[in-house]
Amino acid sequence: MTMTPISFVVFLCFVYFLMPVESFSSSSILHHRSSLSPSFRQHDGRLPLAKTLQDNDDSSSSSTTSFASPMEAVKNSFGFQTKQEEFQKAQADGFGTRARNAAINATVGDILVPLCSNLEQRQKLANQGVYPGVEYEICSLTLLASSDDDMSSSSGDSGDSVGMNGNDDSATATMMTAKSKVVQTLQGLDRGAKQGVIATVKPAYPLRAHLERDDWPVSVALLKDVPLWLAKATYEAGTAVGTLAVSLSGLVMASLVAFWIQLVGVPTPSMLPALQPGTVVLVTRSLPMLGKAFQPKVGDVVFFDAPSELETAISQRMIMPEESSAATASQDDVNDDMANLVPSASSSSNNNKADTSTKGKQLLKRVVAVPNEKVGVRQSSPYVQVSESTYRFDVIGRYARPEIFPADSWNRPLETLGRKEYFVAGDNGYRSVDSRVWGPLQQKYIIGTAQWVVWPLDHFGPIPPGPISEVTKPK
């Protein structure tokens, strides 16, 4: 089964939202198992079996034991979390520049992610052992105050002063001699007291060898040294949203490019000398509903589906190709649009529908006349009456087997094109089956306009002009 890009992105999003990042980390699983409280272990270090229900006589002295469902047990054993709850918390914290600083109400044991956009400050933090974008666990929180009055305004037991990591430029260097107070959380404290907090932090997971340090945990001025701390859920939610946005934008851009641009190979020599057989051209889609700027113009090479009028003209051709004088010519002489459009015609004498079907065929021709212009054919070459005294000529020559089609194909009187009709012809009239045979081309069949030759490289560049010229009669 082939997976499309859209289904692949949906699959990745499903996996991401189903399992948290830490559930894929063996170290996090080991950390989860080792963090079980000792009170829940037996004296020999093994995990106890499930408690048996007590007798009804003893029910008044004990609480009822609750058992998790099998699905909840699986989720707990593998570290699954409810992503909906995490996103709700992340939404409350905010995203990007509007994100709330999670360090304001930090608690020992919290997992926070430092962020810093200033390159110089990032380097200073890295020297301290605080790497932006890495998850850190808060190991301890210590309040520093500059006077006894400030210390008396907060509760708790006084502790030892906290040592720093030798960063003289850091704001924490001025707090070295200040009195300290160890706390478990910053919640409930006034904002002024929080500004002097010193935290010891360590990475929540193993880092690469060149980033590891021997002095974990390290000390940092929580609110002064680091501009912003994000909660783990907020950081993961922002990463998920950003990844999804980049993926979707990439898909949208790829879809737009695929819709707007197409590479097309030139199948026959009907556009010589401008386009050689085998040349690859870049085609941009025509969008006539957006105005004339996105509609084909005189001289443009258009790429279009074979019109139904062409199939009718081929099915009603006067004689079969193998019955014409060209049947005795060399294979190179019959290498034209007919060989590309109806390849079975040269090998079958049955003039039936299967032989004349042009369904799925596409052609490249040059626009000679646009809607509302008067166009005709004289001696196999199209011409346009631009004004009373100005004419446009496309001298392309006669077709190699003119007897195949009606004689009036090569000499048409002037006719005014409709509002959505174009007259197109190949630059090499000797090999081209075009509007001279089937008449005007309806706009609905046009796919796009050839803009550039991309292969071969020695022909790389804009589409060369055709043999179209304008002549003004002297007064």
| Closest among 27, 33, 31, 23 to 82, alpha carbons compared | 23
- What pairs with residue 182 in β-bridges? 142
* Amino acid residing at 67: F
And the tokens for 367? 């626009």
- Of 365, 380, 381, 409, the active-site residue reads 365
CA–CA distance, 53 with 62 (Å, rounded to integer): 10
Residue 347 known to be catalytic = no
Tokens of residue 309, six digits: 């009028």
DSSP 284-313: EE--GGG-GGGS--TTPEEEEEPPHHHHHH
* Residue 96 to residue 118: CA distance in whole angstroms: 15
* Cβ-based burial of 321 (10 A; exposed 0-12, middle 13-18, buried ≥19): middle
- Establish whether 270 is a catalytic residue: yes
Q: Quick one: which of 386, 367, 363, 362 has its CA closest to 300? A: 367
336 secondary structure, DSSP code? S
CA 464-435-442 angle, 5° bins: 95
Name the catalytic one among 170, 270, 432, 435. 270
Q: What are phi and psi of 93, to 5 degrees?
A: -75, -25
Contact 431, 335 (CB under 8 A): yes
Contact between 179 and 161 under an 8 Å Cβ cutoff? The reply is yes
Q: Report how far apart the first and last C-alpha atoms of the chain are (Å, whole number).
A: 72
Residues tagged active-site: 270, 365
